[in-house]
């Protein structure tokens, strides 16, 4: 089976590299002209994934139709803000037999939809859609370096999830399946907001106690909102939930943690973003998640403080300290109570 990976960033490149190592014919669509030309010449993404050489089973494409046509499975790894446009561009080239898989962790700001929900809106009118999402603790660099990694494949269609599971699993890359597509996607998106708060804590040198508290109370917030939106509670205790949250809050390769860390050190957000070659999804997701939480009347104090820091210029130290001075209560509360 031919597969296509849409997106020549670090994660799309690492995933295409992984598929190529399995000797699966893989087409990698690259938007950026310079990245594409480097890949053709050196078989390496020198901008987003330097040092990793693609096997010959991976081909590089700048034309979308050539990349997608006749591909049995299309993996989409572009930033969430560009996904709707990408699905619209894909529509003429996919068929009812194509399996579309999101590798993107985000929530669209205008519609507050997950990536699979946008897929369904854009493509279901044309044909019955088979779609899925892959999430979990998986830094691109470590996948490219063949470090043992475990992810979860979520789909409403069990057959599709199992098909992808067997296709992508390898000696260093293990995939589990889940029927909770909304939960897996929400967990993958919302953990980026908590990772920003964890980075802020580290930047302020608050220590391990603070970090552990943020991670634990962060997963409580994420779970409450997810359950309110129809997700399964157990999803947030798995790879897509606590697994990805721990990685993103503690790993030095985390873009969202980096944003928070620099904020904690006093650097302006605009300067941080302009210095980064890749997107930190948590910045935009903070807006989307706050709107979702307010719509669903689910209080999320950590999310609210991250929003205040990012978009209202609040001092990070006072914001995090305010989390400690809220009304005292039981640890386990319902979806519409304060964490």
Q: Which residues are catalytic?
A: 191
All residues at 6 or more sequence positions from 326 whose CB lies less than 8 Å from its CB, including other chains:
301, 338
Q: 58-61 and 149-154: which strand pairing?
A: unpaired
Task: For residue 124, give both structure tokens.
Answer: 């279901």
Residue 29 β-bridge partners? 6, 61
Q: Are the C-beta atoms of 263 and 272 separated by less than 8 Å?
A: yes
Q: What is the DSSP letter of 338?
A: -
266, burial (CB in 10 Å: exposed 0-12, middle 13-18, buried 19+): exposed
In whole angstroms, give the CA distance from residue 325 to residue 269. Answer: 26
Residue listed under structure tokens 């509670």: 233
In whole angstroms, give the CA distance from residue 62 to residue 30. Answer: 5
Going through 173-319 in order, the beta strands assigned E by DSSP cover 173-178
End-to-end CA distance of the chain: 47
**φ, ψ (nearest 5 deg) of residue 118:** -65, -40
Q: What is the DSSP letter of 332?
A: S
Task: For residue 108, give both structure tokens.
Answer: 């669209």
In whole angstroms, give the CA distance from residue 28 to residue 30. Answer: 6
In whole angstroms, give the CA distance from residue 37 to residue 57. Answer: 18
Task: For residue 79, give both structure tokens.
Answer: 């930033």
In whole angstroms, give the CA distance from residue 41 to residue 328. Answer: 61
In whole angstroms, give the CA distance from residue 249 to residue 306. Answer: 14
């Amino acid at each position: 089976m031919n597969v296509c990976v849409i997106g020549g960033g670090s994660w799309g490149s690492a995933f295409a590299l992984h598929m190529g190592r399995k000797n699966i014919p893989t087409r990698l669509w690259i938007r950026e002209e310079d990245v594409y030309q480097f890949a053709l010449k050196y078989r390496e993404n020198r901008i987003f994934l330097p040092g990793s050489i693609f096997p010959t089973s991976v081909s590089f494409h700048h034309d979308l139709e050539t990349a997608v046509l006749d591909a049995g499975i299309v993996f989409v790894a572009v930033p969430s803000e560009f996904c709707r446009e990408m699905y619209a561009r894909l529509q003429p080239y996919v068929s009812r037999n194509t399996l579309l898989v999101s590798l993107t962790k985000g929530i669209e700001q205008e519609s507050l939809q997950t990536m699979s929900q946008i897929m369904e809106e854009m493509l279901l009118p044309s044909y019955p859609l088979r779609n899925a999402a892959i999430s979990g603790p998986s830094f691109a660099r470590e996948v490219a370096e063949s470090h043992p990694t475990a992810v979860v494949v979520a789909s409403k269609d069990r057959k599709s999830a199992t098909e992808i599971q067997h296709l992508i699993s390898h000696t260093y890359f293990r995939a589990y399946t889940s029927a909770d597509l909304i939960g897996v996607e929400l967990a993958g998106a919302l953990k980026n907001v908590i990772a920003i708060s964890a980075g802020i804590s580290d930047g302020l040198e608050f220590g391990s106690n603070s970090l552990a508290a943020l991670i634990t109370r962060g997963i409580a917030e994420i779970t409450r909102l997810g359950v309110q939106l129809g997700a399964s509670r157990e999803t947030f205790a798995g790879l897509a939930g606590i697994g990805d949250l721990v990685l993103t809050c503690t790993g030095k390769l985390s873009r969202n943690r980096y944003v928070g860390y620099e904020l904690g050190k006093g650097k302006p957000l605009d300067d941080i973003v302009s210095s980064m070659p890749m997107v930190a999804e948590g910045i935009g997701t903070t807006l989307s998640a706050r709107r979702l939480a307010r719509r669903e009347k689910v209080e999320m104090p950590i999310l609210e403080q991250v929003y205040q820091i990012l978009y209202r210029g609040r001092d990070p130290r006072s914001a995090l300290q305010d989390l400690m001075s809220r009304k005292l209560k039981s640890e386990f509360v319902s979806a519409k109570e304060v964490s």
